[in-house]
Structure 1
Amino acid sequence: MTTLQDQMKQAVALAAVDQISSGMVLGLGSGSTAALMIKELGARLKDGRLKDLVGVTTSFQGEVLAAELGIPLQALNAVDRIDLAIDGADEVDPGFQLIKGGGACHVQEKLVAVRAERFVVVVDASKVVQTLNLEFPLPVEVLPGAWRQVQAQLNSMGGEAQLRMAVKKAGPVVTDQGNLVLDVKFAGGINEPADLELAINNLPGVLENGLFINLADQVLVGEIIDGMPRVRDLAKG
């Protein structure tokens, strides 16, 4: 059964694909909304509405899905540009600052977002917040041999860091890069995300964290208005 949230995600995924033109090199994001975008992209390639596209995926999940749909793929190191990247987010604040990494793919996601000429974020309305980290924890990818050390450092910075444990598998979540993830909550949320991104990434043992600062060019928000799915182009404020 299709839920209202599913309808919001579908609407915003379609709106994002409408921005794609033939001949583009695309960054293909991760997560449920991005998966809907990839499926629609595959359909438009198959029926000829789009052609001559190349995708650069941000996760094994996206790579498998895109390959199944016949979308041509290249590795990040094999392309000289990314025209447009489309990805979801776990939280978006009014300044277009993001938390990503709920799917533990934020390292590759950030590499692709930084490389893209334009980075479009697609979310449903539940992901739009006034302050980051009040609800969703900040993911921090760490080297397996350093997670306890990094956990202690994050806690000393005022965070509460927990090792992310796998579901239906014994032990912790392991990322596509073979690392572990600490999920961190800061009391009162994150009010200076740019400073915190740099501070966390300077900790020995940290590979990357899920704060995406000054990367999003556009945020498309799926909403339900009068019982119908709509897409709002969020104004940066």
Structure 2
Amino acid sequence: MASVVLGSSMPLQKPCRKVFSWRRSKNSRKLRATLSDGAALLKAAKYTVDTYIKSGMRVGLGSGHASCLAIEYLGRQLKEGTLKDIVGIPMSLFSGSEAANAGIPLDQYQESSQIDFAFNDADIMEEGTLVAIIGRRKWQGSESIIQEKSIVEGAGKLAFIVIERQYTGHVDGSVPVLVHTYNWMQTAEEIDDLFLGDAEVWRRSASGLAGPLGGDFPLTTRDGHNVLDLIFTSPILNLAEVAESLNKIDGVVDHGIVSGIPCTAIIASENGLQIVDNLPKKTSWGF
């Protein structure tokens, strides 16, 4: 495991006289946090493109705010001639649309596609192991987590871009699980029994109010599957074990846990960037 910190701490500002109400101060803190996250993610996006993408590469283009910033910056590098002959492989309709607007030449993903490097957002990443969760975002029915994971896992090199609070030793929240539609309820019951007391299982809704059964308009992906959200009510102690358990359940097609692959985490904060990887270390032999 390698870890590098880039950048330096920001100077502390003098305390200001408190003149706002509690509610307004809270909203101001949220706004400052959002602006700070945006600036940090832009720095991470530029670092990702400048460090890992070379002319002539086929690049997997991720989904999410950080990936959008990286796609825009990559497009500018192509227009300026800093990079040439890049072909983008979008992970979603969103990233494909953003890449087309940025002027990046695109190709459709196929199982035989060569992908030299891929970048993506992670919803949360387990500190130390770099096991990540993707797919918590709101989906359109035409999207596919299968394609997103295939590109992520099939890339020659992979980087996840996250903000500091998403890189944590206390993973919580939900894991999206893709299941066959025809027996989704049976599969949901098996998942619920497996994680009884630790999580709830809800079928994701395409629109309207959500509910355990998916409401009036349950989401069906372009692959013809339903999405179950496995919502943990206590911290997730080991993401890799959760993934392994889900893989053994009949009816589970895929899920949002990415584990067991070499990758780099680019962790953005107002203090700079931290680069952590789980890449295999080269062994040198002495005689």
Under a length normalisation based on structure 1, what TM-score does the superposition of the two structures give? 0.88
SS at match of 1:3: helix
Letter in 1 for 2:185: R
Q: How does 1:6-85 map to 2 (within 5 A)?
A: 6-18=38-50, 19-77=52-110, 80-85=113-118
Determine the C-alpha separation between the residues in 2 that align with 1:77 and 1:192. Answer: 32
SS at match of 1:37: helix
Partner residue in 2 for 1:204: 250
> What does the per-residue CA deviation read over 1:132-157, in whole Å, with 9 as the maximum and x for residues that have no partner?
3x2x2011012222321221111101
Q: Return the offset for 1:27.
A: 0.8
Determine the C-alpha separation between the residues in 2 that align with 1:90 and 1:145. Answer: 29
Aligned alpha-carbon RMSD (Å): 2.2
Partner residue in 2 for 1:215: 261
Letter in 1 for 2:192: N
Partner residue in 1 for 2:188: 151
Partner residue in 2 for 1:111: 150
Q: Return the offset for 1:224.
A: 0.9
Q: Return the offset for 1:198.
A: 2.6
Determine the C-alpha separation between the residues in 2 that align with 1:176 and 1:3. Answer: 35
Q: Return the offset for 1:11.
A: 1.5
SS at match of 1:77: coil
| Cα contact 2:208–2:217 (8 A) shared by 1 | no
Q: How does 1:169-180 map to 2 (within 5 A)?
A: 171-180=217-226
Determine the C-alpha separation between the residues in 1 that align with 2:132 and 2:71. Answer: 21
Determine the C-alpha separation between the residues in 2 that align with 1:140 and 1:203. Answer: 11
Corresponding residue to 1:139 among 176, 196, 201? 176
| Cα contact 2:247–2:254 (8 A) shared by 1 | yes
Which moved further from structure 2: 95-104 or 112-121? 95-104
Determine the C-alpha separation between the residues in 2 that align with 1:186 and 1:120. Answer: 26
Letter in 1 for 2:71: I
Number of aligned residue pairs: give it: 230
> What does the per-residue CA deviation read over 1:62-107, in whole Å, with 9 as the maximum and x for residues that have no partner?
1122122221112222754211110110111121011111135532
Which moved further from structure 2: 140-149 or 89-98? 140-149
Unmatched segments (≥5 aa) in structure 1: none
Determine the C-alpha separation between the residues in 2 that align with 1:78 and 1:41. Answer: 24
Determine the C-alpha separation between the residues in 1 that align with 2:48 and 2:55. Answer: 14
Q: Return the offset for 1:39.
A: 0.9
Partner residue in 2 for 1:125: 164
Determine the C-alpha separation between the residues in 2 that align with 1:36 and 1:198. Answer: 33
Determine the C-alpha separation between the residues in 2 that align with 1:208 and 1:11. Answer: 32
SS at match of 1:137: strand
Corresponding residue to 2:136 among 102, 110, 113? 102
Partner residue in 1 for 2:123: 90
| Cα contact 1:97–1:216 (8 A) shared by 2 | no
Unmatched segments (≥5 aa) in structure 2: 1-30, 210-215, 279-287
Q: Return the offset for 1:131.
A: 3.2
Under a length normalisation based on structure 2, what TM-score does the superposition of the two structures give? 0.73
SS at match of 1:71: coil
Partner residue in 2 for 1:164: 204
